[in-house]
Amino acid sequence: MTKAVRVHQVGGPEVLTYEDVEVGPPGNGEVRIRQHAVGLNFIDVYFRTGLYKAPGLPFIAGNEAAGEVLAVGPGVTNFHPGDRVAYYSNLGGYASERVIPADKLVKLPDHITYEQGAVLMLKGLTVWYLLHKTFKVEQGHRVLIHAAAGGIGLLACQWARALGAHVIGTVGSKAKADLALANGCDHVILYNEENFVERVKQISRGELCDVVYDGVGKTTFPGSLSCLRPRGLFVSFGNASGPVPPFPLAELNNHGSLFATRPKLNDYVGTRKELLEGADTLFAAVINGKLHVPINHAYALKDAAKAHIDLESRATTGAAILRP
């Protein structure tokens, strides 16, 4: 038996149940791992509340983690007991041990800790595809990043700055503004005190942004569209405040022939080649000093409900983990 956090019915943080579960031996193409750190993400909330549909009930929450290989199943030749590994995979993460397909795993470089690995696989790979694939950020681009002091936001600000972009971020408090400025933001907008659209116009002297990265959703829409230059790209990749409401395509025309996309990580790491490309690029950015990955909050796995309460109340900044 091992410990895990399961959801028997969707709902509030109270539905996260810490309990014993059976973990069998790894089957063909599978690996059993002992997890040292589990990443905490808003997508975990979406699955818990039912906004995103799990395959069935009950399910083990969590989508990224890092640990060591305990055993490998038949046909697995590229991983061995003792290997340090990390992964992103829908559900199953909130556990002390688990079995997972080997093709979901990547090996952790020696210079990256389990804690860093646990928060890099979903958050880091998300930032990789957003800045390198969805829109290729380059020298001279002006980018707007909402929730700039969040787990994805802090990494995105750092990496966009390293790529030569002019970075504008929105945050909810002065403390978060200081954090965003220390992590690559050139300008920070306090969205509770300022009109972020007007501030973007002021900061850019009316030139607006090449791309807006919006993981907030409902409360920043349609303002995000008004921050884009003609033919700019609106990237809606999350729903922290609720989903973006349906809108007529003519709105994109009205704001200057804009483009809009709603990407997800699965479609950018759908093949083993893509996963390794993303992980290699990401780990290199950390090792080379372009990305710093501090862990700002750590909770015991049994306290997952408290972690979700803090996450939903915007009490967290940067990366947070659960410790099995």
pTM of the model: 0.92
Mean pLDDT, residues 124-132: 97
**Spatial CA neighbour of 282 closest among 124, 159, 67, 161:** 124
246 cis-preceded (ω within 30 degrees of 0): no
- What is the predicted pLDDT for the residue at 140? 96
Q: Do domains 2-122+269-323 and 139-262 have the same CATH topology?
A: no
Cα separation, 130 vs 231, in Å, equals 18
Q: Which two tokens stand for residue 94?
A: 């909130």
Mean pLDDT, residues 240-254: 92
Percent of the chain scoring above 70 in pLDDT:
100
- What is the predicted pLDDT for the residue at 241? 85
Helix H or strand E encompassing 177: helix 174-181
pLDDT tens for 190-241 read 998 999 999 999 999 999 999 999 999 999 999 999 999 999 999 999 988 8
Average pLDDT over the chain, rounded to an integer: 96
Q: Which two tokens stand for residue 261?
A: 């996309």
Mean pLDDT, residues 160-170: 98
164 burial via Cβ count (<10 Å: 0-12, 13-18, 19+):
exposed
Q: How confident is the model at residue 315 (pLDDT cuts 50, 70, 90)?
A: confident
Cα separation, 60 vs 293, in Å, equals 26
- What is the predicted pLDDT for the residue at 16? 98
**Is the domain 2-122+269-323 a CATH 3.90.180.10 member?**
yes
- What is the predicted pLDDT for the residue at 104? 96
pLDDT tens for 75-115 read 999 999 999 999 999 999 999 999 999 999 999 999 999 99
> Three-class SS of residue 285?
helix
List the domain boundaries for the chain.
2-122+269-323, 139-262
CATH topology of domain 139-262: Rossmann fold (3.40.50)
Helix H or strand E encompassing 39: strand 30-39
Q: How confident is the model at residue 21 (pLDDT cuts 50, 70, 90)?
A: very high
Q: How confident is the model at residue 314 (pLDDT cuts 50, 70, 90)?
A: confident
Helix H or strand E encompassing 48: helix 42-49
pLDDT tens for 50-74 read 999 999 999 999 999 999 999 999 9
- What is the predicted pLDDT for the residue at 134? 98
